[in-house]
Homo-oligomer: A and B are copies of this chain.
Amino acid sequence: MANYRNVLVAVDFSDDSKAVVRKAQEISARNQATLNLLHVVEYTSSMYAGDIPLPEDLNLDKDLAEQAAVKLKALAEEMQISEAAQYVEIGIPKREIVRLAEERGADLIVVGSHGRHGLQLLLGSTANGVLHQAKCDVLAVRVGH
């Protein structure tokens, strides 16, 4: 039986993250697969393009990435998967997830998915973007019932 050997789970630190990570952890354990945790810090520069002068040494993305690494480590310890590889990337979540999956040779990406209706459908979602762009299988874990 073909098994998944290398699982990448994307964590957004929402209340639902633990349920998503738990599923990825179970699949990894059952398949004796490598587990990789990833948090993507969404690129923020365009949010601050107003008239207010910002300090030249402002490096919000990097600060956020450092904070995210600490949070990811704490989450992994709390969920007793501190041996899992941990990654923090800065960029567009769907792109970074797909990119890291290829780079690490993942054969399954696990992401959380909220239902979408009406206008939301047009706006797309991370799960949707990953589904279309990934070169491997994608498990969308339904969260936020």
Residue from B26, B29, B113, B145 within 8 A of A131 (CB atoms)? B113
Shortest beta-carbon distance from A65 to chain B in Å? 28
What bracket does the count of chain A residues touching chain B fall in? 20 to 34
A95 contacts B by Cβ under 8 Å: no
Q: State whether A141 touches B132 (Cβ < 8 A).
A: no
Contacts of A29 in B (CB 8 A): 1
Interface residues of A in 89-133 (CB under 8 A from B): 113, 115-117, 121, 125, 127-128, 131-133
Shortest beta-carbon distance from A30 to chain B in Å? 6
| A 1-40 to B, binary, CB cutoff 8 A, 1 in contact else 0 | 1110000000000000000001100100110000000000
Q: How far is the CA of A9 from the CA of B106 in the complex (A)?
A: 23
Q: State whether B140 touches A138 (Cβ < 8 A).
A: yes
Q: State whether A131 touches B132 (Cβ < 8 A).
A: no
Given contacts A1-B26, A26-B2, A29-B1, contact A136 B142 (CB under 8 A): yes
A135 contacts B by Cβ under 8 Å: yes
Closest B residue, CB atoms, query A122: B122
Closest B residue, CB atoms, query A19: B2
A sample of 19 cross-chain residue pairs with beta-carbon separation below 8 angstroms, ordered by A number, consists of A1-B26, A1-B30, A2-B23, A3-B26, A30-B30, A113-B131, A113-B132, A113-B138, A115-B134, A116-B132, A117-B132, A128-B128, A128-B131, A128-B132, A131-B131, A137-B139, A137-B141, A138-B140, A138-B142
